[in-house]
Amino acid sequence: MITKTTEETKRMGERLAKLFKGGEVIALSGELGSGKTTFTKGIARGLGVKDPEYVNSPSFVLIKEYKGKLNLYHFDLYRLDNLGDIEYIGIQEYLDDNGVVVIEWAEKLQSLLPKEHIKISISIMGNNKRRLQAQGHGKEYENIVSRYLKP
């Protein structure tokens, strides 16, 4: 999927979030400035988080929690370098919760991700233009990805 504006990227996140029932894990990857947090703002909007535009990257605090129809747990693992550090912050407790977990820099914890999750890679193609490539892991998520995130 190609988005041409930050608003389109948010709408993709919002559209995805409207399908959630709780317990979903979204693993985001992409270089700095690719739009991972922008996509997460869309997820927040789709979950009914109050003031989703205030969702920002938790780079320094590692996790932020937002209340909505479903709780949103937003992780940013940019500053963590090993699995021990990631496990230390208690990520497994959030993965086992009924909220929605969004993890930026998810490639750093590949072995800790549950079997069922959605992986979304975001690439910069110029100015605000982005390529979102989604892959569902687990039958339910494969169906969601093939139906809603592919052109």
Residues found in the chain: 151
Q: pTM surpassing 0.85?
A: yes
What pLDDT, on the 0 to 100 scale, is given for residue 42? 96
Tens place of pLDDT for every residue, the chain, 151 residues?
A: 899 999 999 999 999 998 899 999 999 999 999 999 999 999 999 999 988 888 877 666 678 889 999 999 998 888 777 666 666 667 777 777 789 999 999 888 887 888 999 999 999 998 889 999 999 999 888 887 887 765 5
- Domain containing 33 equals 2-149
Rounded to whole angstroms, how far apart are CA atoms 61 and 54? 15
Output the six-digit token pair for 118.
Answer: 């959605």
Predicted pLDDT at 59:
65
Find the CATH number of the domain harbouring 64.
3.40.50.300
What pLDDT sits at residue 101?
94
- The span from the first CA to the last CA of the chain, in angstroms, equals 6
Query: How many structural domains does the chain have?
Result: 1
Cα 51 to Cα 8, 55, 78, distances in angstroms: 18, 8, 24
